[in-house]
Amino acid sequence: MQFDLNNILRDNIKSLSPYSSARDEYKGKEGVFLDANENPFGAPTSFFEGNELNLNRYPDPMQLSLKDKLGKIKGLPTENIFLGNGSDEAIDILFRAFCEPGKDKVIICPPTYGMYEVSANINDVGIVKVHLTKEDFQLDIENILLAINETTKLIFICCPNNPTGNGVKWDSIKKILENFKGLVVIDEAYINFARYMSLIPELLNYPNLVILQTLSKAWGLAGIRIGAAFASQQIIDVFNKIKPPYNINAVSQKIALDALDNLDQVNNWIKEIVFERNRLSLELAKLNIITKVYPSEANFILVKTINANSIYNYLANNKIIIRNRSNVSLCEGCLRITIGTKEENEMLLKTLQNYKA
Ligand code: PMP
């Protein structure tokens, strides 16, 4: 099926003249900077002293050093990378670029990450829900293909999926990519914990593929708010046209640049988390208050329990906070547990063992 980005881009975005910032116009590092109405003296803090952080200056609007470093890790040129204030920003930009409020629709596959629906609602974009299959939380491919019509602009697929933890079969994703003229957004926030690979190499084969990743999970940087979208240059150019000029602040850029040098540390954490996930899954399955432990490719486990609300409250009273997902469709009785350190997981297990039904 022929894909043409211009067919799904909103007219107002097509004709938009983007904001041109002072730092877009002059990119040199040396000079007397009298172009951006900044304070020439400095910032009244010594917090980052010695770190070459000119906090009185606006940061690089295109985050080129950071994209370059991330691109080397991901095997992608900077032109195929958008960085956002968390991947939540990338999700919001997708709606604003491609969905006409009050007219267009997106397909989501619940139970899944809640921001797709919230972002759709904020942007007054219709939502068509095609639930995952009941037994194994896979895509209901037949009904997804049936649900597509002229107003469908985006299909969100979370893989590994939050809150269920499982991966979605490539065959199904491929079928959608090949039969849909809009964008297929694969959210890979938890990909580092999965046994299968990212779909990044498929960007070369599918011009309608957008992949979301984040530094908030395996990279341990949820606090600095950096997420990424990977896609064709044509799609990334649209993201760049819409984003606020300085969407990633100087401190976050600097910290991320430093953190990306520590891939070995992150890989060790991933190994440890995966080991703990597998151990915790086995241990949780032994508890009679837990009736099912769902297989996980992420850094959390979904479990079905005999009484989710009561167990959730009991844990919270013991200062152990998990996520109650029992009100989510297809997750009745379910709790989502993030994998902590070995000690934290032990505390969880001990506390659960003492639960009186
Ligand atoms: N996608 C999924 C599936 C998530 O679970 C989350 C956060 N919980 C996000 C995206 C958002 O991540 P970020 O911190 O990059 O905004």
Per-residue pLDDT tens digits for 209-260:
999 999 999 999 999 999 999 999 999 999 999 999 999 999 999 999 999 9
d(CA 38, CA 34): 8
Summarised one tens digit per residue, pLDDT across range 67-81 is 999 999 999 999 999
pTM across the whole model: 0.97
Q: Which residue has its alpha carbon closest to ligand 1 atom 12?
A: 87
d(CA 249, CA 354): 46
Among 93, 115, 116, 211, the mutation site with the greatest number of ligand 1 atoms within 8 A of its Cβ is 115
Tell me, in angstroms, the distance from the centre of ligand 1 to residue 54's CA. 30
Tell me, in angstroms, the distance from the centre of ligand 1 to residue 213's CA. 8
Tell me, in angstroms, the distance from the centre of ligand 1 to residue 158's CA. 10
Q: Do the Cβ atoms of 281 and 290 come closer than 8 Å?
A: no
Tokens 């919230």 locate to 118
Q: Could you tell me how far CA 95 lies from the centroid of its own chain?
A: 15
Q: Which ligand 1 atom sits nearest the alpha carbon of residue 216?
A: 14
Q: Check residue 23 and give its pLDDT.
A: 82
d(CA 81, CA 83): 7
Q: Which domains does the chain have, with CATH numbers?
A: 5-261 (3.40.640.10), 264-353 (3.90.1150.10)
Among 82, 92, 112, 113, the mutation site with the greatest number of ligand 1 atoms within 8 A of its Cβ is 113
d(CA 256, CA 271): 21
For the stretch 288-292, contacts whose Cβ atoms lie closer than 8 Å and that sit 24 or more positions apart, written own/partner, are 289/352, 289/355, 289/357, 290/352, 291/333
Ligand 1 neighbours, Cβ below 6 Å, are: 86-88, 113, 158, 162, 187, 189, 214, 216, 222, 227
Alpha-helical (H) ranges within 155-207 are 170-179
Tokens 């099926």 locate to 1
Give 100's pLDDT tier (boundaries 50, 70, 90): very high
